[in-house]
């Protein structure tokens, strides 16, 4: 339901703010009366006349997801408003229990100072004073917030800058951990053909899970650099390629010269800056992919131009020369079609997600270990498996064992699977 469109006018007059607040509380009253349950009003605690920004949208989306996960509301309605966009939830739990959780989130979450989680018991506000909580503190000086506001101790610019920088720092840290968790989740998935897992080394005699875990830990600071690059006005992909090379060196040092995540480094080095840029610009996932693809295509278009002058070619260069396949470069420069052709619409379990990628990806790691015919056979078998309803996990396990015995290890698909796991946990931060 739309009340006042914040995207059309971001800065509101005092009169418009007062009118919007009246509408918000009238809407709340009607909502609570209709559902006759515990109601939550979720809105950002934002000073000044400009209530809706990219960073308030981030805060609202983070706590929206938390409330859905922790309280399982049976009703949820989102509203645009000059007074600050907000969400109403109806919860089938005692209001006082819900208020305890709301106070915990406001006080314990790193961004809790910037959110208001107001709880109503059949339309009547449940106040923090009932729980002997102190008044909320100021963002800047830790004084009592309403006293600072009344005395105008701090400028609106100082307060909003503090909030924006806090959100940026939180995103940088939190999303770095989300990427690392996604990469670990991919490694721990079992069975998955000839890939390394926590159960065995698959088709790899020189690798085990310890190599992957050490590599992921070594990549942590570089993932953070990739993310923070998205806050810059322009993204320097050439500079980030150098960061990627440094990340590869850190990976090899951690794994004793074993390639565990070279493809993942390229994927995340290209995608993460544009993911952050998408958050700041309040873009959609398809929009992010399109912008990223265009930029990567421009930066990588000459990567294979000088092969005739090289005396020794890499396996990837040999494959390009023979089949015209550019591997992960092509996948990224096209906006991850092996993911985006199914991800926005399909409801798959983790095994189906891997199969969906394998059915579409020109995975050069399979060609390196075998040949192009083997890649084509793998794609066909995955396509057939995906068509079975319900998903035939028994067939999946049989194929997994066969592939492991044949030494078929879809490493490129594994890297993209970790990207899917990242999106599963982070896409709520984007516009829809």
pLDDT tens by residue, 375-390:
999 999 999 999 999 9
- 135 with 195, same domain? no
- Read off the tokens for 209: 């899970």
Q: What does the pLDDT average to over 134-143? A: 82
Q: What does the pLDDT average to over 269-295? A: 98
- 150 with 166, same domain? no
Instruction: Determine, yes or no, domain membership for 86.
Output: yes
The three-class DSSP label of residue 224 is helix
Quick check: 269 and 243 in contact, CB under 8 A?
Answer: yes
Closest-CA residue to 416 (of 327, 290, 345): 327
pLDDT at site 3: 37
Q: pLDDT tens digits for 168-227?
A: 999 999 999 999 999 999 999 999 999 999 999 999 999 999 999 999 999 999 999 999
Which helix (H) or strand (E) segment is 339 a member of? helix 337-340
pLDDT at site 349: 97
Going by C-beta distance under 8 Å and a sequence separation of 6 or more, which residues neighbour residue 390? none
Going by C-beta distance under 8 Å and a sequence separation of 6 or more, which residues neighbour residue 85? 6, 43, 44, 51, 52, 56, 57, 60, 78, 79
Pick from 154, 175, 202: which residue ends a domain? 154
- 182 with 120, same domain? no
The tally of CA atoms less than 13 A away on the side-chain side of residue 120 is 21
Q: What does the pLDDT average to over 11-33? A: 91
Write down the residue that tokens 């594994």 correspond to: 414
Distances from the Cα of 266 to the Cαs of 61, 368, 418, in angstroms? Answer: 28, 18, 13
What angle is formed at CA 343 by the lines to CA 339 and CA 344, rounded to 5 degrees? 130
Residue 271 backbone zone (phi > 0: left; psi -120 to 50: alpha; other: beta)? alpha
Please check the confidence at residue 7 and state whether its pLDDT lies above 60: no
Which residues is 324 bridged to in the sheet?
A: none
Q: What does the pLDDT average to over 78-94? A: 97
pLDDT at site 148: 86
- 253 with 141, same domain? no
User: Is the model more confident about 314 or about 358?
Assistant: 358
Pick from 154, 184, 208: which residue ends a domain? 154
Instruction: Determine, yes or no, domain membership for 3.
Output: no
Q: What does the pLDDT average to over 142-170? A: 91
Domain that holds residue 182: 162-429
How far is residue 300's CA from residue 42's CA, in Å, rounded to a whole number?
44
Across 87-91, 144-148, 346-350, which has the greatest mean pLDDT?
Answer: 87-91
Q: What does the pLDDT average to over 333-349? A: 94
CA 169 to the chain's CA centroid: 15
Please check the confidence at residue 231 and state whether its pLDDT lies above 50: yes
> What band does 399 get if pLDDT is binned at 50, 70 and 90?
very high
| Phi and psi angles of residue 120, each rounded to the nearest 5 degrees, phi first | -130, 135
Q: What does the pLDDT average to over 24-53? A: 95
- 120 with 185, same domain? no
Distances from the Cα of 204 to the Cαs of 8, 256, 314, 411, in angstroms? Answer: 56, 15, 20, 11
Mean pLDDT of the chain: 94
Instruction: Determine, yes or no, domain membership for 5.
Output: no
As for how many domains the chain has, the answer is 2
Instruction: Determine, yes or no, domain membership for 304.
Output: yes
How far is residue 302's CA from residue 10's CA, in Å, rounded to a whole number?
43
pLDDT at site 380: 98
Percentage of the chain exceeding pLDDT 70: 97
Please check the confidence at residue 1 and state whether its pLDDT lies above 60: no
Instruction: Determine, yes or no, domain membership for 1.
Output: no
Instruction: Determine, yes or no, domain membership for 378.
Output: yes
Closest-CA residue to 31 (of 79, 102, 101): 79
Quick check: 399 and 32 in contact, CB under 8 A?
Answer: no
> What band does 363 get if pLDDT is binned at 50, 70 and 90?
very high
- 202 with 290, same domain? yes
- 202 with 222, same domain? yes
How far is residue 399's CA from residue 284's CA, in Å, rounded to a whole number?
36
pLDDT at site 138: 86
Instruction: Determine, yes or no, domain membership for 9.
Output: no
Please check the confidence at residue 2 and state whether its pLDDT lies above 60: no
Residue 392 backbone zone (phi > 0: left; psi -120 to 50: alpha; other: beta)? beta
CB atoms under 10 Å from CB of 7, counted, come to: 10
Q: At what angle do helices 350-358 and 372-387 cross, to 10 degrees?
A: 140
The three-class DSSP label of residue 313 is coil
Pick from 138, 154, 170: which residue ends a domain? 154
- 346 with 377, same domain? yes
How far is residue 314's CA from residue 54's CA, in Å, rounded to a whole number?
43
- 283 with 149, same domain? no
Q: What does the pLDDT average to over 315-323? A: 94
The three-class DSSP label of residue 126 is strand
- 175 with 147, same domain? no
DSSP calls for 253-311: HHHTS--SSHHHHHHHHHHHHHHHHHHHTT--HHHHHHHHHHHHHHHHTTTTTTGGG-S
How far is residue 364's CA from residue 372's CA, in Å, rounded to a whole number?
9
- 303 with 387, same domain? yes
pLDDT at site 11: 59
Q: Residue 229 gets which letter from DSSP?
A: G
Q: What does the pLDDT average to over 285-309? A: 95
pLDDT at site 275: 98
How far is residue 77's CA from residue 232's CA, in Å, rounded to a whole number?
34
| Phi and psi angles of residue 116, each rounded to the nearest 5 degrees, phi first | -110, 120
pLDDT at site 125: 95
- 40 with 177, same domain? no
What angle is formed at CA 332 by the lines to CA 363 and CA 218, rounded to 5 degrees? 85
Please check the confidence at residue 12 and state whether its pLDDT lies above 80: no
Closest-CA residue to 26 (of 104, 93, 83): 83
How far is residue 316's CA from residue 134's CA, in Å, rounded to a whole number?
62
């Amino acid at each position: 339901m739309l009340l006042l469109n914040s995207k059309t006018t971001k800065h509101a007059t005092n009169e418009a703010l007062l009118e919007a607040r009246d509408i918000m509380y009238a809407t709340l009253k009607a909502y609570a009366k209709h559902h006759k349950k515990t109601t939550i009003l979720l809105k950002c605690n934002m000073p000044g006349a400009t209530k809706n920004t990219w960073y308030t949208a981030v805060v609202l989306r983070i706590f929206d997801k938390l409330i859905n996960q922790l309280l399982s509301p049976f009703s949820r309605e989102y509203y645009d408003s000059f007074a600050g966009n907000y969400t109403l939830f109806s919860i089938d739990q005692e209001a006082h229990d819900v208020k305890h959780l709301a106070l915990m989130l406001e006080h314990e979450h790193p961004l809790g100072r910037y959110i208001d989680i107001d709880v109503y018991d059949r339309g009547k506000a449940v106040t923090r004073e009932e729980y002997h909580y102190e008044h909320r503190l100021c963002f800047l000086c830790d004084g009592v917030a309403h006293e600072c506001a009344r005395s105008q101790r701090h400028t609106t610019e100082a307060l909003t800058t503090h909030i924006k920088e806090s959100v940026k720092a939180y995103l940088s840290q939190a999303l770095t951990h989300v990427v690392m968790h996604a990469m670990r989740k991919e490694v721990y998935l079992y069975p998955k053909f000839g890939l390394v897992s926590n159960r065995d080394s698959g088709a790899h005699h020189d690798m085990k899970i310890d190599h992957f875990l050490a590599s992921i830990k070594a990549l942590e600071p570089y993932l953070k650099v990739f993310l923070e690059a998205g806050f810059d006005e322009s993204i320097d992909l050439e500079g980030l390629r150098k960061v990627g090379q440094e990340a590869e060196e850190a990976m090899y040092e951690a794994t004793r010269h074993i390639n565990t995540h070279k493809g993942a480094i390229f994927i995340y080095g290209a995608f993460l800056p544009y993911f952050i840029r998408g958050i700041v610009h309040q873009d959609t996932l398809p929009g992010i992919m399109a912008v990223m693809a265009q930029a990567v295509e421009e930066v990588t278009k000459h990567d294979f131009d000088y092969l005739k002058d090289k005396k020794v070619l890499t396996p990837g260069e040999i494959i390009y020369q023979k089949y015209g396949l550019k591997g992960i470069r092509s996948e990224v420069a096209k906006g991850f079609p092996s993911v985006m052709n199914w991800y926005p619409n399909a409801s798959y379990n983790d095994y189906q997600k891997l199969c969906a990628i394998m059915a579409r990806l020109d995975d050069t790691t399979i060609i390196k270990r075998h040949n192009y015919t083997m890649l084509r056979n793998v794609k066909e078998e995955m396509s057939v498996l995906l068509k079975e309803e319900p998903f035939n996990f028994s067939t999946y396990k049989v194929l997994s064992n066969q592939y492991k015995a044949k030494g078929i290890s879809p490493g490129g698909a594994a890297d993209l699977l970790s990207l899917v796991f990242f999106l599963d946990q982070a896409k709520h931060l984007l516009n829809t």
